[in-house]
Amino acid sequence: MLHLHTDSVLEVTIHSAHDLKDVEHLGKNDPYARISLEVDNSKFYDKFKTNVINNSGNDASWEETFELREVKDDHNTLYVEILDSEKGADAPIAFTAIPLNQVKESHNQSLSARYDLYNGHGLPQGEVSLTIRIVNPGQESSGRITYDGSFKKANSVVDEEQKKRFKKLILKEKAADVGGAAALGGFAALGAGLLANHLKKSEEAKKRDEALAEDQ
């Protein structure tokens, strides 16, 4: 158990991510990161997420800090997701679960480190750099800490529940892609049908005009 003080704050700075999988069909990834203390709590993920870095590709730098005040004794893991911003459903890139005991046990209860990210198969796919700090009552924020390329590697794991969630996100994004393609195909078919109907009516009108001209 993490056993934080009731008024403690978990301060998380999302520095950057590297060697991300390219999930864009055209162009480069537009990645953003989001975090949660509960594996499938959409409110957490929606509240604690970075800005989108357009055309960032396989690497991204955010340098954004979040203060998680809804910390409970059973919150022992920080869940991280990296996604590619899309017009439809966002495309999942990678995920990871970070045990928070290592933060509790670190010097000054602050840990700046690199963590393995994982793909939908649970295999390593890139890294994310974070600073995680426990701010107890009376302590001040750590201020701005930036990633200088020298962070050491810390422990992250594949959480099976998060892996299931991640696969659902992948299926959702694929379904949105199929739906969008079907809609485009439908519009194309509709357009072709309207054009054919218009040409048919134009031909019929031409024949009527020719018939009237002959009668006169």
In a 13 Å sphere around the CA of 65, the CA atoms on its Cβ side amount to 16
Please identify which residue in the block is written with the tokens 């048919």.
200
Is residue 136 exposed (0-12), middle (13-18) or buried (19+ Cβ within 10 Å)?
exposed
Report the relative pairing of strands 110-118 and 152-153 from DSSP bridges.
Answer: parallel
Give the list of residues 6+ apart from residue 152 with CB closer than 8 angstroms, or none. Answer: 113, 114
Amino acid identity, residue 141? S
Q: What's the DSSP call for residue 35?
A: E
- Give this prediction's pTM: 0.80
Domain spans in the chain, listed from the N-terminal domain onward: 9-169
pLDDT tens for the chain, 216 residues long, are 565 655 789 999 999 999 999 998 788 999 999 999 999 999 999 999 999 999 999 999 999 999 998 788 889 999 999 999 998 889 999 999 999 999 999 988 999 999 999 999 999 999 999 999 998 877 776 666 888 888 999 999 999 999 999 999 999 998 887 765 555 555 455 555 555 554 555 455 445 555 544 554
Task: Assign domain 9-169 to its CATH architecture.
Answer: Sandwich (2.60)
Contact (CB, 8 A) for 86 and 105: no
